[in-house]
Amino acid sequence: MEPLAQKDRKLNVWINVVSVVIPVVVALLFGVKIPNVERLGFLPPIYATINGITAILLMLAVWAIKSGKRQLHRSLMTGCIMLSLIFLVMYVAYHMTSDSTSYGGEGPIRYLYYFILVSHVILSIAIIPLVLKTYMRAYLNKLAEHRKLAKITFPIWLYVAVTGVIVYFMISPFYPLVPFMKKKIFFVVIIWFMLPQSIMAQCAMCRAVLESEGNTSVAEGVNNGIVYLMAIPYLLVGVLFYFVYRKMRT
């Protein structure tokens, strides 16, 4: 057997194993709660930001390879994989210290939320082998196969990254308020979260005031209005994605 073919076979085996192990381990860890540990409620805005950065880097990576900047493309894609690993660690850590938060919206927006959430979860599992196999083909210098698979991997990965941010913004008003951070939490993390946590607290207080006055319909309207306004920048991202994807196919 040729060395390259043998390496290809071994890497494929490892990719298949990792693609099964990661979702299974994550699912098992979801059922584990670390006792006597403060809820890591500051993590969701961080890993939502990581998703947003990943989406931007993915589009930059496509631009880089289309511009002939192969080394930059490789660095950006490696960065996306590293960010995804960091996201995974934070995501698991949050759910091992926190109870799941139910979405409190009602009406059509609730169905939209669960559609986005379910599609996000399913595709986030499917993207694992796609990313690894696409990266492996570039590593083995099988560039024709790499380009062919990348045309499938890129839109799915971008969708997962963008919908991760959307899911966070839709569920964040229903998160419990984060208590004052203890001194043991790293100072930089506190600074990072000072603004986002204030914004979430204001959303929660507004909702509480409206509902305490019996204006549940008004509260729902305010929540839906925020979500609709939030959709505008993501529509712009979608348009940008369309043009990048069309350029990638040419």
Q: Hey, what amino acid is at 17?
A: V
How do the domains of the chain map onto residue ranges? 40-178+191-249
pLDDT, averaged per 10 consecutive residues of the chain (250 residues), comes to: 72 89 87 80 89 94 92 93 92 86 87 94 94 91 91 95 93 72 41 43 48 52 52 56 57
The pLDDT of residue 35 is 79
The pLDDT of residue 199 is 40
- Residue by residue, DSSP assigns 142-167 as -HHHHHHHHHHHHHHHHHHHHHHHHH
The pLDDT of residue 73 is 94
The pLDDT of residue 2 is 56
Tokens of 4: 């390259």
Radius of gyration of the CA atoms of the chain, in A: 20
CA dihedral 228, 232, 235, 237 (to 10 degrees): -130
Instruction: Measure the CA–CA gap between 228 and 1, rounded to whole angstroms.
Output: 57
The pLDDT of residue 190 is 42
The pLDDT of residue 7 is 79
CA dihedral 104, 110, 116, 120 (to 10 degrees): 40
The pLDDT of residue 36 is 79
Closest Cα to residue 11, out of 200, 137, 117, 162? 137
Q: Is CATH 1.20.120 the classification given to domain 40-178+191-249?
A: yes
The pLDDT of residue 185 is 40
